[in-house]
Structure 1
Amino acid sequence: MAPLRRRLASLALASACALSAAACATGGGSSTAGGRATVKFWSMPYWIGDDSKIKDLVSQFNASQDKVTVELTLLEWKDGRDKIKQAIAAGTGPDVWLMNNGLELDYLKAGSLAPLDALGYTTADTDKFLPLSKVDEYEGKLYGAPLYFDVDVMLYRTDVFQQFGIAGPPKTWEELKSTAARITTESAAAGKKVSGWQFKGMDDHLNAINSTWESFLCQAGGSLTSPDFKTSTQNTEAGRTAMNYMKSFYTDKVSPTGTSALNGFISGDVAMFPFFQSVIANVQTGGAKTEGKWAVAPMPTGPKSGCSMVGGHSLVAKAGGKNLAASGTFMRWLASPERSAQYMDFHAIFPYDLAKVDPSVKATVDDKVKADPNWNAIFEQLGRNTPDLLLQDRHAFQARWDAQKASVVAGVNGQVPVDKALETIDGQVGKALSSEK
């Protein structure tokens, strides 16, 4: 067992004490002052485009309460997850914190997270979540309260499509390749080359290659692991199909190596790219460069399906916290249907079943969807996805994402043969999976 795993595992006893005996002491955690329970909340600024929004929300919560006070520690994305993990392992971390949907296996196996039913969530509460909330399930219990979901979608420049007489976004891999090639070729002949397509992650944001790759692998019918999560399964016919397809964009000079998908899209030098729909907030910063000149479509369908990677964030709580009820009160407020409807302002996907929320919340969501037709494409893509890929990704997560960042890029760029790239991923991930057994 790795040192970090051992430190997390040491919290399991404290977790059991907190759930079974009020007199059992724990290290760190929430406190009570002046009759109010204090909950320590650590978060990265998940409200894209406005870091101050998290502080505003915590202030709103505190103003609405007479028994709970939340103390916010706002971390940076570059190292926030590591700081939380280190603090939790040392017993000095937060009571509630932000975690990727799918959750991290080390926390779950160590018993470091409180299940939602221990935090005051009822079946009526959890039944309101979309079925996709299963991504936060472990051994039959939910451990994360989803704030919002992300799914990979396709963004395209409507002005470029109009310029070259293209009626609408491509719906299949074949149409994507031919449409992208047409734009690249015809724009170059017209004197100003526009790259028809760029894979997000083959550019200024290397980590994005993971969601991009896993989306295309899924569309080819592939999986990340075997059903028992014990074997890495990327070096398969589906893996070769996906990587060879991606490679063909560079071999055929449809896509440029090293060009930023996002920056190129904003400047009008890239016509289409895939990424989580929340990137819309970044596209909108382009102002006059992008306003009224782009739209969202579902991902083009591959040989087997039109699925894509699922992301987003949830709230979790420390199982050994002294005031689990207070932590649950805060989580139910910040991850409530009312707040999640607000998160749609940065194009985060509402994580609740609209048929099960208060009519006023449904009306708010409906109004936001009517105001922006891109939501129709986003929700169509959401409906194509299942929890399976993210549940697989939970196992050997860090090893997989590190291996894919190196080997997918190398295979797609032609630096190594496709078979070798996939073999390397399975080898590195397989070692990490073996250590989990």
Structure 2
Amino acid sequence: MAPLRRRLAALSLASAFALAASACASGGGSSESAGPTTVTFWSMPYWIGQDTKVKALVDEFNASQGKVKVELTLLEWKDGRDKIKQAIAAGKGPDVWLMNNGLELDYLKAGALAPLDKLGYTAADTEKFLPLAKVDEYDGKMHGVPLYFDVDVMLYRTDVLQQYGIAAPPKTWDELKSTAATITSKSAEAGKKVAGWQFKGMDDHLNAINSTWESFLCQAGGTLTTPDFKASTQNTEAGRTAMEYMKSFYTEKISPVGTSALNGFISGDVAMFPFFQSVIANVQTGGAKTEGKWAVAPMPTGPKSGCSMVGGHSLVAGSASKNLQGAGTFMRWLASPERSAQYMDFHAIFPYDLGKVDPAVKATVDGKVKADPNWAPIFEQLARNTPDLVLQDRHAFQARWDAQKANIVAGVNGQASVDKALKTVDDLVGQALGKE
């Protein structure tokens, strides 16, 4: 959806939901009093690497009981979110759908999302989630159920670091830059240049610059907005520190602009890169190219902290649905501790407090963690993060991500000055914040 159409869809959410609520309409589901409840569920294939898994889960749920029947519409990542928003704006949306952790402010302000207490959730249910689940709160109530969390971590090629005499992954910004420079220069001297580091988003995955940038901004002590969410705060000392640091990798020819971080990592042409830990599922598709040759580490700490961007996905239900109880039944099943433990198979982070789940589930999670040493650094990174950045990012989200994709890249690769890039982001985001 073009930016203008996206804005129009957002503007129409409130009126669409007012009409839908008055008519008790939703995605075409049947009344809860007329036999089995039909719940419509629209989702992108969030099980990374296995697009059929979501359908298999829905089939499993339907076979497990006879009171609720879920009808799945599987969408594509390229336009799935926009199709959902268009359907909601037209009053023809689903009962339950997939949304980024943090949720979208347009839906929340329009009253389009049902709070969990209207879906049969109790305080005892929601208290089992990790504190990061606060990213799905609005006006003191949770409006989404986390399926899993993502955090930005560092992936590194153990074979490449060992080849150049580097015993351990870098732990600070200074170590990261010196390690990357050593690999880039020494590999070039040896006749086969390997990029010591690539910032995800400065390659063929432009949208990833948002999570990358926000991680490094956070590590420099920066924020996205003021505490009241009224003004954008990237054109600051912290913003300049983060961008100058990122830019130096390109001006000093440590990193090549445009080289794919993921594909280069799989082929051995990129030694280190940052991204959400669930990218591990993609790395593992490298087979013999990557098996036994890579590992995960926490993000190198910056001048102020070692925080990083938090992502992942939640389930939400439409407040206008006729099938709120059926929707809640399905959501409690799909986002249950039992299912969330399964999502760890593609390295999704378990969203529950292990001290508050069934011992059998805890044993399953503990077993997966014990079997894979990469979980330790992932959980270390998780512990460094708070909901704050995600709650800030909720405000003027689309304007920010569009502005950052264009201007952070331009500032880092030298097409625009650092000051101009940051000022432009603040101006564009500020305009959107002023309209909220």
Read off the aligned partner of 1:253 and give its amino acid letter: K
Moved more, 160-169 or 306-315: 160-169
Contact 2:20 2:91 in 1 (8 A): no
User: Offset at 1:29?
Assistant: 3.9
Q: Indicate the residue corresponding to 2:30 in structure 1.
A: 31
- Report the 3-state secondary structure (helix = DSSP H, G, I; strand = E; otherwise coil) of the residue aligned with 2:146: strand
- Report the 3-state secondary structure (helix = DSSP H, G, I; strand = E; otherwise coil) of the residue aligned with 1:274: strand
Question: Aligned partners of 1:116 and 1:15: how far apart in 2?
Answer: 19
Q: Indicate the residue corresponding to 2:392 in structure 1.
A: 392
Q: Indicate the residue corresponding to 2:3 in structure 1.
A: none
Read off the aligned partner of 2:24 and give its amino acid letter: A
- Report the 3-state secondary structure (helix = DSSP H, G, I; strand = E; otherwise coil) of the residue aligned with 2:285: helix
Contact 2:199 2:274 in 1 (8 A): yes
Question: Aligned partners of 1:121 and 1:263: how far apart in 2?
Answer: 42
Contact 2:233 2:426 in 1 (8 A): yes
Contact 2:84 2:93 in 1 (8 A): yes
Q: Indicate the residue corresponding to 1:217 in structure 2.
A: 217
Question: Aligned partners of 1:2 and 1:165: how far apart in 2?
Answer: 52
Q: Indicate the residue corresponding to 1:407 in structure 2.
A: 407
Matches within 5 A, 1:46-125: 46-125=46-125
1:421 has 2:421 as partner: yes
Question: Aligned partners of 2:102 and 2:56: how far apart in 1?
Answer: 27
User: Offset at 1:49?
Assistant: 0.3
- Report the 3-state secondary structure (helix = DSSP H, G, I; strand = E; otherwise coil) of the residue aligned with 1:10: helix
Contact 1:219 1:303 in 2 (8 A): yes
RMSD in angstroms over aligned alpha carbons? 1.3
1:319 has 2:319 as partner: yes
Q: Indicate the residue corresponding to 2:375 in structure 1.
A: 375
Q: Deviations over 1:16-52 (max 9, x none)?
A: 66xxxxxx63354421496100000000000000000
Read off the aligned partner of 1:375 and give its amino acid letter: W
Q: Deviations over 1:387-419 (max 9, x none)?
A: 000000001101100100010111000111100
Read off the aligned partner of 2:202 and give its amino acid letter: M
Q: Indicate the residue corresponding to 1:43 in structure 2.
A: 43
Question: Aligned partners of 2:162 and 2:248: how far apart in 1?
Answer: 25
Q: Indicate the residue corresponding to 2:237 in structure 1.
A: 237
Q: Indicate the residue corresponding to 2:9 in structure 1.
A: 4
Contact 2:26 2:94 in 1 (8 A): no
Matches within 5 A, 1:128-143: 128-143=128-143
User: Offset at 1:3?
Assistant: 3.6
Q: Indicate the residue corresponding to 1:193 in structure 2.
A: 193
Residues 345 and 28 (structure 1 numbering): CA distance in 2 closer, same or farther, change over 3 Å? closer
Within the candidate set 13, 16, 21, 2:18 is matched to 13
Q: Deviations over 1:285-322 (max 9, x none)?
A: 00000000000000000000000000000000000100
Question: Aligned partners of 1:3 and 1:216: how far apart in 2?
Answer: 32
Question: Aligned partners of 1:15 and 1:217: how far apart in 2?
Answer: 41
Q: Indicate the residue corresponding to 1:183 in structure 2.
A: 183
Q: How many residues align?
A: 430
- Report the 3-state secondary structure (helix = DSSP H, G, I; strand = E; otherwise coil) of the residue aligned with 1:112: coil
User: Offset at 1:66?
Assistant: 1.2
Contact 1:308 1:385 in 2 (8 A): yes
TM-score normalized with structure 1 length:
0.97
Question: Aligned partners of 2:17 and 2:85: how far apart in 1?
Answer: 15
Question: Aligned partners of 1:11 and 1:338: how far apart in 2?
Answer: 36
Segments of 5+ residues of structure 1 without an aligned counterpart are 18-23
User: Offset at 1:4?
Assistant: 2.6
Q: Indicate the residue corresponding to 1:354 in structure 2.
A: 354
Read off the aligned partner of 1:407 and give its amino acid letter: N
Residues 411 and 362 (structure 1 numbering): CA distance in 2 closer, same or farther, change over 3 Å? same
Contact 2:277 2:347 in 1 (8 A): yes
Read off the aligned partner of 1:10 and give its amino acid letter: S
TM-score normalized with structure 2 length:
0.97
User: Offset at 1:10?
Assistant: 1.8
- Report the 3-state secondary structure (helix = DSSP H, G, I; strand = E; otherwise coil) of the residue aligned with 1:314: strand
Question: Aligned partners of 1:207 and 1:422: how far apart in 2?
Answer: 17
User: Offset at 1:8?
Assistant: 1.1
User: Offset at 1:14?
Assistant: 5.5
Read off the aligned partner of 2:107 and give its amino acid letter: Y
Question: Aligned partners of 1:266 and 1:39: how far apart in 2?
Answer: 41
Q: Indicate the residue corresponding to 1:363 in structure 2.
A: 363
Question: Aligned partners of 2:196 and 2:18: how far apart in 1?
Answer: 55
Residues 215 and 90 (structure 1 numbering): CA distance in 2 closer, same or farther, change over 3 Å? same
User: Offset at 1:15?
Assistant: 7.2
Contact 1:5 1:110 in 2 (8 A): no
Question: Aligned partners of 1:229 and 1:274: how far apart in 2?
Answer: 27
Contact 2:31 2:322 in 1 (8 A): no
Contact 2:24 2:321 in 1 (8 A): no
Contact 2:296 2:377 in 1 (8 A): yes
4+ runs deviating over 4 angstroms: 14-17
- Report the 3-state secondary structure (helix = DSSP H, G, I; strand = E; otherwise coil) of the residue aligned with 2:379: helix
User: Offset at 1:13?
Assistant: 3.3
Question: Aligned partners of 1:218 and 1:16: how far apart in 2?
Answer: 40
Q: Deviations over 1:152-192 (max 9, x none)?
A: 00000000011111110000000000000011111111111
